[in-house]
Amino acid sequence: MADGITGVVHLDPQAGEKVRGAAAGLGTDNSLDEIKRPELMEARRTGDIALVHSWELVTSVDGPGTRMTMFMSGCPLRCQYCHNPDTMEMKVGTLERIEDVVKRIKRYKPIFKASGGGLTISGGEPLFQIAFTRRVLKEVHDAGIHTTIDTSGFLGSRLRDEDLENIDLVLLDVKSGDEETYKLVTRRELQPTIDFGDRLSAMGKPVWIRFVVVPGLTDSPENVRNVAEIVGRWSNNVERIEVLPFHNMGADKWHELGYPYTLEDTKPPKPEDIEAIRDVFRAKGFTVY
């Protein structure tokens, strides 16, 4: 099926291992293994069905309070440090119906209310399977549950203004501060992320920024300054910045998939180097973690 970003996406219900994450007990009760391909393609177009990679139920990660995080399959970026490379292609996950997913999320509303938590849609890239994500966000938000997306912003233009009304918080990954480094990291362009960030700022949408420090790749003083300059444009709506140290815990997945892992010999940054980078953002008046 033509996705418009990455070319042809092959969504085969038999392709790849079906997996579920830490919240495995939340899985669907309905088997979709026997669905015919034309019906499946139409259901994906309308957002009736999507390929969900995995689930997690965690506290103080991916947003405030206790979060149910739904990881979607599919991503247009090819980040060198991705710790879920099996989400890049539409091959791994569980086919889920919209009504099952929404029902599952709503069951946790009392926990979300007590903890100040809610739903986070991540990936992969949550805007890759946009029709499904759009519908989940609306139904869950209409039910009074806090909603968050964790996105690179590369596909931010897919979100309509009414979609953004159903999103309470955006976790925006700014992977680099200049086009050359961004392309080296992701194989894509930086500008869509900037455009999306500008749009969120103009409407005052709450944002948490994430920046991953990869020694030899994203940690140069110039790149860090460039990221800080970009984020500085959004000082009115950025609530916090998370400076995250690179780790190679996803290396085994790269090997299992047969993908070339370019950061094999890269070590995590030193704690003092992370703090120095955090200070660059603090100097601009941001709350930094």
Q: What is the DSSP string of 23-62?
A: TGGG--SS--TT--HHHHHHHHHHTSEEEEEEEEEEESSS
Instruction: Give residue 32's pLDDT.
Output: 65
Q: How confident is the model at residue 31 (pLDDT cuts 50, 70, 90)?
A: low
User: Residues 125-179: pLDDT tens digits?
Assistant: 999 999 999 999 999 999 999 999 999 999 999 999 999 999 999 999 999 999 9
User: Mean pLDDT throughout 33-53?
Assistant: 86
Distance between CA atoms of residues 208 and 103, nearest Å:
28
Instruction: Give residue 13's pLDDT.
Output: 32
Q: Which of 23-27, 72-76, 259-263 has the lowest mean pLDDT?
A: 23-27
User: Residues 246-269: pLDDT tens digits?
Assistant: 998 889 899 999 999 999 999 999
Q: What sign does the CA torsion over 253, 184, 187, 164 have? A: positive
Q: What is the mean pLDDT of the chain?
A: 89
Q: Model-level pTM?
A: 0.88
User: Residues 209-254: pLDDT tens digits?
Assistant: 999 999 999 999 999 999 999 999 999 999 999 999 999 888 989 9
CB-neighbour burial class of residue 252 (10 A; exposed 0-12, middle 13-18, buried 19+): exposed
Q: Which two tokens stand for residue 105?
A: 């999320």
Q: Which two tokens stand for residue 77?
A: 């970026």
Query: CA nearest 79: which of 203, 213, 175, 223?
Result: 175
Please determine, for residue 121, whether its predicted confidence score (pLDDT) is greater than 60: yes
User: Residues 171-211: pLDDT tens digits?
Assistant: 999 999 999 999 999 999 999 999 999 999 999 999 999 99
Query: CA nearest 177: which of 191, 196, 188?
Result: 191
